[in-house]
């Protein structure tokens, strides 16, 4: 029999007969590896352990430590779900069951919608099937035979999938669990070798769905679940889901009076006064960060003739995502979905010398994207938003220095907000624009800048945009979720399209490089992240209301008003609670509104010219003169003190209050 050579990740190789399954390679390395094996990567392609090796190949065994493992594991669990559903509810039609970032789902056509008891029964059945350690078997069927088989079983959706996904193939892969009576599905694979590998999973909820997401198609039931390699990880994730529900920015946004929506303006927030204050505080903070660092703030038009979008390429590739409008002369126009093209026109409106570079534009005007109504969600997916957007126009040799400046700004902003972050460097993808040499020089400059900034980064080879390499940042919130926010992207393509140049020291024209950059990303989405990160209890410098003055009774109203006015004049954001309510009630309300300071005023305070200070987390701090309180609060604001937000927010009443008992 003909021998082939298998190369392992450590560079060693071994000779095996052609047709050897990859499982045998794992067994040949060690029994432990064979036990831990879930799948394999053969010449860069993820395959089942039963995959026969037909020619020389590089082989890496996938275990639960491999980055590829979790999606494979979750997708395999989706099949287990489908097996349980079809066993418990004969006649159910299966759709698709992919892994997601959070777990997996499977879509079904069922006679009646699932109820919570159904999910319990399905999960129980899944556990049974897992305990039986049933084999996932890949079978190659003649394409016509497979189509006839699924058609006869009353599964037209599978027939449609085979038609779409395997055009021109003679054979298609079907997977059974145990045997085709127990479960069979058309799937490209791969999967874990047997159901016994699936240890920690949980079904979460159901929702209505449509085949292919199109409401004209058959209605389906989508069952969501999640799966992890250990019970511990699963439990941690379920706790995170519970915690995330409590922090949901849509719920807190309503309770804290920050924003609302109306059906007549889908995906566009109505910012109430407190939300507007929060928004403006962040917008001005970003100006305070950027303007002293060489940026100029600009405002460019919202609506452009389609000629601009044709030049940028958006008209052919992105038109359906933009709101199109007609000018009075019938000209075709569109609302801007990003600021970049406007900034190019602004840059190109002057002749620039190398001495002026870098030129840095910052803009916060509104952008519009015509998102599908079905994907709109709170502030995280909207149609109208603004960015802390910016474009730096630099000479190629300035890239490294400019990126290092940018990294320092990113560092400063996330430190101020008390968030941790992880940079990811995306390098040249297989299809790219421009010269390889320019890419190599740019990537080297980005790496050096990251090193000089002392940032450990994740290298994502080939993950750059086609127009240039990039650095993206994931920030981690208080409950461990990751959000991609800041981005730094080099662009060689647009300066060509828009003929952006500068006059060099040699008195001739040269091409600039554009750096697209944002630190928050969209204000709307970033505010959603902050609301959930802080659970609505903003640090003092961000809180829409920083202190509330609480008169004990009506006769203290006048003194309370004078305190409010003095604090407001000192630049603090202060409210006066004038309601005829008991002081304990007012304190409780202020706690629920997550106001950092409650200032109680009664006879003693009015006589002494003081306030009784109560901090939301710490509790009573005793009496202070108004001036002393202003000085203390301003110090915390200047320092952007985030200490109190690290303490679990108090939901009811708060620490026992001496003031409240008065
Ligand atoms: Zn599958
Ligand atoms: Zn841009």
The pLDDT tens digits for 502-543 are: 999 999 999 999 999 999 999 999 999 999 999 999 999 999
Report the share of the chain in percent with pLDDT over 70.
97
Confidence of residue 660 (pLDDT cuts 50, 70, 90): very low
CB 479 within 8 A of CB 237: no
**Preceding amide of 358 cis, omega within 30:** yes
The pLDDT tens digits for 537-559 are: 999 999 999 999 999 999 999 99
Contacts 24+ apart (CB under 8 A), 373-378: 373/266, 373/267, 374/213, 376/266, 376/267, 377/250, 378/248, 378/249, 378/250, 378/253, 378/528
391 a catalytic residue: yes
652 a catalytic residue: no
The pLDDT tens digits for 133-146 are: 999 999 999 999 99
Expressed in angstroms, the distance from the first to the final Cα of the chain is: 94
Whose atoms come closest to the Cα of 48: which ligand?
A: 1
The pLDDT tens digits for 29-74 are: 999 999 999 999 999 999 999 999 999 999 999 999 999 999 999 9
- Among 48, 107, 185, 389, the active-site one is 389
Please state the length of the chain.
662
Query: Residue 407 has what pLDDT?
Result: 95
Pairing relationship of beta strands 104-109 and 219-228 according to DSSP bridges: antiparallel
What's the mean per-residue pLDDT of the chain?
93
470 a catalytic residue: yes
Distances in Å between the alpha carbon of 540 and those of 319, 403, 410, 453, 543?
A: 43, 31, 21, 29, 5
- Among 340, 343, 398, 411, the active-site one is 340
pLDDT surpasses 80 at 494: yes
Phi, psi of 367 (to 5 degrees): -120, 155
Best CA proximity match to 308, nearest among 340, 331, 332, 341: 341
Confidence of residue 500 (pLDDT cuts 50, 70, 90): very high
- Among 221, 387, 445, 593, the active-site one is 387
Best CA proximity match to 43, nearest among 4, 101, 76: 4
Tokens of 315: 């008209």
144 a catalytic residue: no
Whose atoms come closest to the Cα of 188: which ligand?
A: 1
Query: Residue 646 has what pLDDT?
Result: 44
Per DSSP (E only), the strands in 239-341 are 259-260, 270-271, 295-297, 303-305, 324-326, 332-335
The pLDDT tens digits for 422-435 are: 999 999 998 887 78
pLDDT surpasses 60 at 601: yes
The pLDDT tens digits for 77-102 are: 999 999 999 999 998 999 999 999 89
149 alpha carbon, distance to own chain's centre: 41
Tokens of 268: 């566009």
Tokens of 644: 């109190």
Neighbours of ion ligand 1 (CB under 5 A): 187
pTM to 2 decimal places = 0.81
The pLDDT tens digits for 235-277 are: 999 998 999 999 999 999 999 999 999 999 999 999 999 999 9
Phi, psi of 435 (to 5 degrees): -90, 140
Confidence of residue 583 (pLDDT cuts 50, 70, 90): very high
CB 467 within 8 A of CB 493: yes
The DSSP 8-state label assigned to residue 377 in this structure reads: B
Compute, in angstroms, the gap from residue 136 CA to the centroid of ligand 1: 10
Query: Residue 648 has what pLDDT?
Result: 42
Confidence of residue 1 (pLDDT cuts 50, 70, 90): low
516 a catalytic residue: yes
387 a catalytic residue: yes
The pLDDT tens digits for 623-654 are: 999 999 999 999 999 999 876 544 444 343 33
Tokens of 413: 């902003």
Query: Residue 653 has what pLDDT?
Result: 37
Query: Residue 433 has what pLDDT?
Result: 79
Of the listed ranges 255-264, 336-345, 435-444, 587-596, the least confidently predicted one is 435-444
Residues forming a β-bridge with 184: 176
Best CA proximity match to 169, nearest among 190, 147, 150, 153: 147
Task: Return the number of other C-beta atoms located less than 10 Å from residue 109's C-beta.
Answer: 19
- Among 360, 391, 447, 564, the active-site one is 391
Compute, in angstroms, the gap from residue 30 CA to the centroid of ligand 1: 28
Q: Counting Cβ atoms within 10 Å, is residue 338 exposed (0-12), middle (13-18) or buried (19+)?
A: middle
Query: Residue 273 has what pLDDT?
Result: 97
pLDDT surpasses 60 at 562: yes
The pLDDT tens digits for 119-170 are: 999 999 999 999 999 999 999 999 999 999 999 999 999 999 999 999 999 9
């Amino acid at each position: 029999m003909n021998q082939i050579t298998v190369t392992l990740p450590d560079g060693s190789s071994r000779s095996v007969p052609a047709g050897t399954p990859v499982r045998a390679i794992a067994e040949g390395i060690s029994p432990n590896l064979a036990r831990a094996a879930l799948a394999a990567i053969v010449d860069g392609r993820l395959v089942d352990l039963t995959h026969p090796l037909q020619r020389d190949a590089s082989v890496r065994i996938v275990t639960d430590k491999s980055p590829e493992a979790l999606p494979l594991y979750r997708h395999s669990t989706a099949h287990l779900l489908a097996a349980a559903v079809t066993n418990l509810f004969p006649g159910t039609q299966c759709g698709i069951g992919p892994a997601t970032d959070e777990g997996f789902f499977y879509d079904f056509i069922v006679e009646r919608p699932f109820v919570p008891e159904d999910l319990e029964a399905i999960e129980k059945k899944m556990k049974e099937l897992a305990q039986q350690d049933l084999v996932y078997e890949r079978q190659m069927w003649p394409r016509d035979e497979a189509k006839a088989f699924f058609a006869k079983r009353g599964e037209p959706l599978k027939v449609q999938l085979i038609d779409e996904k395997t055009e021109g193939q003679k054979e298609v892969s079907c997977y059974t669990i145990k045997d085709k009576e127990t479960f069979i599905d058309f799937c490209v694979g791969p999967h874990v070798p047997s159901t016994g590998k699936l240890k920690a999973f949980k079904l979460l909820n159901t929702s209505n769905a449509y085949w292919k997401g199109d409401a004209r198609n058959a209605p389906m039931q989508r069952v969501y679940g999640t799966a992890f390699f250990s019970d511990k990880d699963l439990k941690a994730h379920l706790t995170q889901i519970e915690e995330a529900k409590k922090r949901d920015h849509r719920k807190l946004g309503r309770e804290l009076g920050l924003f609302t929506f109306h059906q007549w303006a889908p995906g566009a927030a109505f910012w109430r006064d407190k939300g507007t204050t929060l928004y403006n505080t962040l917008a001005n903070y970003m100006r305070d960060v950027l303007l002293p660092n060489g940026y100029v703030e600009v405002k460019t038009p919202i609506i452009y003739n389609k000629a601009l979008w044709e030049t940028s390429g958006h008209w052919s590739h992105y038109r359906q995502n933009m709101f199109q409008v007609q000018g009075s002369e019938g000209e075709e126009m569109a609302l801007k979905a990003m600021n970049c093209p406007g900034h190019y026109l602004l840059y190109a409106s002057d002749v620039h010398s190398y001495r002026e570079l870098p030129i840095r534009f910052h803009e916060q005007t509104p952008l519009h994207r015509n998102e599908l109504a079905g994907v709109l969600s709170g502030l995280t997916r909207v149609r109208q938003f603004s960015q802390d957007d910016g474009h730096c126009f630099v000479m190629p040799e300035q890239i490294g220095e400019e990126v290092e400046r940018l990294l320092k700004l990113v560092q400063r902003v996330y430190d101020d907000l008390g968030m941790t972050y992880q940079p990811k460097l995306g390098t040249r993808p297989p299809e790219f624009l421009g010269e390889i040499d320019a890419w190599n020089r740019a990537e080297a400059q980005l790496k050096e800048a990251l090193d000089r900034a002392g940032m450990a980064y994740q290298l994502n080879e080939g993950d750059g945009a086609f127009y240039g390499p990039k650095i993206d940042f994931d920030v981690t919130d208080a409950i461990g979720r990751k959000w991609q926010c800041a981005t730094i992207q080099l662009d060689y393509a647009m300066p060509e399209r828009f003929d952006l140049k500068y006059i060099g020291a040699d008195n001739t024209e040269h091409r600039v490089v554009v750096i697209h950059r944002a630190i928050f990303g969209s204000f709307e989405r970033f505010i959603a992240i902050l609301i959930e990160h802080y659970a609505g209890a903003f640090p003092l410098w961000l809180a829409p209301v920083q202190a509330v003055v609480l008169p004990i009774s009506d006769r203290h109203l006048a003194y309370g008003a004078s305190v409010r006015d003095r604090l407001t004049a000192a630049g603090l954001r202060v409210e006066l609670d004038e309601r005829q309510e008991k002081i304990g009630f007012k304190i409780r309300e202020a706690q629920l509104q997550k106001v950092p300071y409650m200032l109680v005023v009664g006879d003693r305070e009015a006589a002494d010219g003081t306030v009784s200070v109560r901090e939301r987390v710490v509790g009573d701090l005793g009496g202070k003169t108004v001036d002393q309180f202003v000085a203390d609060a301003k110090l915390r604001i200047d320092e952007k003190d985030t200490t109190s937000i690290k303490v679990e927010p108090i939901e009811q009443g708060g620490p026992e209050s001496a003031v409240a008992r008065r």
